[in-house]
Amino acid sequence: MTKAGKPAVDLVVKNIGQLLTMSPGEGPKRGLQAQDVGVLEDAFLGSNQGVVVALGPQSFMEEQIDIMPGAKVIDAKGKVVAPGFVDAHTHLVFGGWRYEEYALRCKGASYLEIAEKGGGIMSTVRATREASREELIERSLGFMDEMLRNGTTSCETKSGYGLDLENELKQLEVIRECSVIHPVDLVPTFLGAHAIPPKFQDRRQDYVEEVISMMDAVREGNLARFVDVFCDVGNFTIDESRYILEQGKRRGFGVKIHADELESTGATELGCDLGAVSCDHLIKVSNQGIKKLASSNTIAVLLPATSCYLGEFPGAPGRKMLDEGVCVALGTDFNPGTSTAMSMPLCMTLACSVLRFSPEEAFVASTWNAAWASGLGGQVGGFDKGYLMDAVIFDAGDYKEIPYRFGINLVDTVIKRGKLVVSNTRGLNLV
Ligand code: NIG
Ligand code: FE
């Protein structure tokens, strides 16, 4: 605050054509609120030390803020400014790729058939175990660069390609390290229950106990915020999942669950009963599961890139969930098996075209609700005083252009915690 009582800013974005504030309120949005992107036309947005301190109509900018000497002033030239995307579900740290598997799937092989032959998650587990910490860090930082270029400034991300103590901890430590080094903030989730390793195939309960003991080490090192289970056919049963997630809750972790992705198993109902922060995937969710979600605060994290990539159309019943009042968020599910997508705008297009979201619902699901699904509610995903200055300037005059321009990256500038981290990506230097 300066003497005149105006907040001092060290960064201001002025002449914003449409500023999407997401109309900050309390908690994740559903129903009519989930259609409100809170547009301010002809606006400015100012921050100090990475935190938003003022926003409002451009014509009031001079009287409302005090621009500090040396402050950065960015002219948005009438373009759209939105909160940085929050990717609510990724598997960022892994070794290898699985393009041979993709080619087999294109010829008709199913995800489960490939997994049963030793491919799938286990093939990435082998590659991740072989990779050194340094290799994983370098690779993950490269992925995070790509996310940032697509406007993602925060991201939930899971372990689950180690499946033993040493390698699960290795993945989580890589996540921690990358989050410190890179502008994108990572929220870590422990997914030791991603698959049953082959040597435990005939003694599943032993692996379940192994997961619980890994959880103790993860808590000891303060390496994860959430615990997650892949509860589905061929992976963890409802009873195994309940046990693991209850043990996680007891140890102070928030709960997430990969639910009803491959088959309808009742995993969504389980997640709601346990007070999960989110149930994710939901391609095969039952009507009962949708009702439970609608009457709870559990967020449905939908991953339309995954269903499209797997050739599962239309995927999760997104429209029905929105109509029934479920809180919905979006994520890329970036992983080497079922979604190599890293772009939230692409996921918004798929959510609109395939799952029948409106552009407004897609934006709320990719920012505000995704922040709540990632444990970042009230800090990012919207603009108000006190929120982080995580902002994206798009090369667009109307926010509806962003999901409309299928597969095109319209990100022009990205600001993370008040620092310019991507600038003028739309400019070319042709020689
Ligand atoms: O979210 N569903 C489980 N886990 C990932 C797939 C992981 C893999 O195939 O490597 C997913 O789709
Ligand atoms: Fe996943």
* Dihedral over Cα of 230, 233, 235, 240: its sign: positive
120 lines ligand 1 (CB under 6 A): yes
pTM over 0.95: yes
Task: Please tell me the distance between residue 400's alpha carbon and the centre of ligand 2 in angstroms.
Answer: 28
Q: Which atom of ligand 1 is nearest to the CA of 336?
A: 10
Give kind and range of the element (H or E) at residue 226.
strand 226-231
230 ligand 1 Cβ < 6 A: yes
Q: Ligand 1, residue 281: give the atom nearest the CA.
A: 1
Residue 132 backbone class (left: φ over 0; alpha: ψ -120 to 50; beta: rest):
beta
- Averaged over 24-37, what is the pLDDT? 98
Dihedral angle of Cα 407, 411, 412, 415, to the nearest 10 degrees:
-160
pLDDT in tens, 169-186: 999 999 999 999 999 999
410: its two tokens: 């319209």
Residues ≥6 apart with Cβ < 8 Å to 3: none
Residue 16 predicted with pLDDT over 80: yes
Tens digits of per-residue pLDDT, 253-271? 999 999 999 999 999 999 9
Instruction: Please state, in angstroms and rounded to a whole number, the distance separating the CA atoms of residues 428 and 389.
Output: 27
Does residue 334 register a pLDDT over 70? yes
56-to-18, 60, 364, 394 alpha-carbon distances in Å: 11, 7, 20, 19
User: What are the pLDDT digits (tens) for 210-235?
Assistant: 999 999 999 999 999 999 999 999 89
Residue nearest ligand 1's atom 3 by CA:
230
Mean pLDDT of 23-42: 98
CATH 3.20.20.140 segments of the chain: 85-373
What is residue 213's three-state secondary structure?
helix
Give the ligand at the shortest distance from the Cα of 234. Answer: 1
* Largest distance between two CA atoms of the chain: 73
Q: Which residues contact 295 (CB under 8 A, 6 or more apart)?
A: none
Ligand 1 pocket mutation pick from 335, 339, 340 by most atoms within 8 angstroms of CB: 335
Between CA 111 and CA 258 the distance in angstroms is 15
Kindly identify the ligand whose nearest atom is closest to the C-alpha of 93: 1
Per-residue model confidence as pLDDT tens digits over 106-122: 999 998 889 888 889 99
Q: Would you say the CB of residue 188 lies under 6 angstroms from ligand 1?
A: no
**CATH of 8-84+382-423 given 2.30.40.10, 3.40.50.300, 3.30.565.10, 3.40.50.620:** 2.30.40.10
Phi and psi at 212, nearest 5°, equal -65, -40
Average pLDDT of the segment spanning 306-327: 97
CA–CA separation, 232 vs 221, rounded Å? 29
Q: Is the CB of 333 under 6 A from ligand 1?
A: yes
Q: Is residue 238 within 8 Å of 266, Cβ to Cβ? A: yes
Q: What are phi and psi of 184, to 5 degrees?
A: -65, 130
Indicate if the pLDDT at residue 3 is higher than 70.
Answer: no
CATH 2.30.40.10 in the chain, residue ranges: 8-84+382-423
Among 310, 338, 339, 340, say which to mutate for ligand 1: greatest number of ligand atoms within 8 Å of CB.
338
Q: Which residues are close to ligand 2, an ion, with C-beta < 5 A? A: 333
Contacts for 194 with CB less than 8 Å, ≥ 6 apart: 121, 158, 159, 160, 161, 163, 230, 235
- Tell me the mean pLDDT in the region 123-134: 98
Residue 2 confidence class, pLDDT cut points 50, 70, 90: low
State which of 111, 158, 230 you would mutate to test the pocket of ligand 1, scoring each by most atoms of that ligand within 8 A of its C-beta.
230
Is residue 381 a contact partner of residue 34, using CB atoms and an 8 Å limit?
no
Closest of 130, 114, 121 to residue 91, by C-alpha: 121
Q: Which ligand is nearest to the CA of 261?
A: 1
Is the pLDDT assigned to residue 125 strictly greater than 70?
yes
By DSSP bridging, strand 8-20 and strand 80-83 are parallel
Span 85-373 CATH architecture: Alpha-Beta Barrel (3.20)
CA of 14 to the centre of ligand 2 (A): 38
Range from 64-78, 366-380, 413-427 carrying the lowest mean pLDDT:
413-427
**CB of 90 closer than 6 A to ligand 1?**
no
Chain center to CA of 3? 41
Mean pLDDT of the chain: 96
Distance from Cα 331 to the centre of ligand 2, integer Å = 9
| Cα(13) to centroid(ligand 1), Å | 39
Task: Please give the Cα distance from 350 to 153 (Å, whole number).
Answer: 20
Atom of ligand 1 nearest to the CA of 161: 10
Q: What is the pLDDT of residue 245?
A: 98
